[in-house]
Structure 1
Amino acid sequence: MQIGINGTGLVQGASIEAITQHAQIANDDGFASYWLAEHPTGGLDALMVLMVVGLSVPRIELGTAIVPTFPRHPMVMAGQTHTALNAIGPRLTLGIGLSHAPMLAQLGMPFDKPIRHLREYLSILVPLLNAGRVDFKGKMLSCEAVTFFKPTAVTPVVVAALGPQALKVAGTLADGTTLAWVGPKTVKEHIKPRLSEAAAAAGKPAPRIIATLPVCVTNDEAGIRARIGRNLAMYGELPSYKAMFEREGVERPGQLAIVGNEDQVSTAIDGMREAGVTDFAASEFTTNDDERHRTRALLKQLLV
Structure 2
Amino acid sequence: MEGQFGCSYERPARHIREYLTALRPLLRGEYVEYRGQTLTAVGQSAAPGATPPSVLVSAVGPAMLRIAGELADGTVTVWTTPETVADYIGPTLTRAASAAGRPVPRIVATVVASVTADVGGVRQQVADQMGFAAQFASYRSMFDRQRMSGLHETVVAGDETAVARAVRRYAAAGVTELLVSPVGSEKDVMRTIGLLASVRDET
Distance in 2 (alpha carbons) for counterparts of 1:166 and 1:151: 31
1:147-296, aligned counterparts within 5 Å?
147-150=45-48, 152-288=50-186, 290-296=187-193
1:1-304, aligned counterparts within 5 Å?
104-150=2-48, 152-288=50-186, 290-304=187-201
Alpha-carbon contact 1:156-1:175 (below 8 Å) kept? yes
Query: With structure 2 as the length reference, what TM-score do the two structures score?
Result: 0.93
The residue type equivalent to 1:118 in the other structure is I
Alpha-carbon contact 2:29-2:47 (below 8 Å) kept? no
RMSD (Å), alpha carbons: 1.5
Taking a change above 3 Å as real, the CA distance of residues 281 and 106 of structure 1, as seen in their structure-2 partners, is: closer
Distance in 1 (alpha carbons) for counterparts of 2:89 and 2:126: 24
Q: CA deviation at 1:286?
A: 2.5
Distance in 1 (alpha carbons) for counterparts of 2:27 and 2:4: 30
Q: Deviations over 1:187-235 (max 9, x none)?
A: 1111111100000011111000001111110111111111111111111
Q: Which runs of 4+ in 1 moved over 3 A?
A: 105-109
Identity of aligned residues (%): 35
Alpha-carbon contact 1:171-1:199 (below 8 Å) kept? yes
Taking a change above 3 Å as real, the CA distance of residues 146 and 107 of structure 1, as seen in their structure-2 partners, is: closer
Distance in 2 (alpha carbons) for counterparts of 1:124 and 1:218: 46
Runs of 5+ in structure 1 lacking a partner? 1-102
Alpha-carbon contact 2:58-2:75 (below 8 Å) kept? yes
Distance in 1 (alpha carbons) for counterparts of 2:98 and 2:170: 22
- Partner SS for 2:60: coil
Q: CA deviation at 1:237?
A: 1.5
Q: Deviations over 1:98-148 (max 9, x none)?
A: xxxxx5235554212211111110011111112343222222222121124
The residue type equivalent to 1:302 in the other structure is V
Aligned length: 201
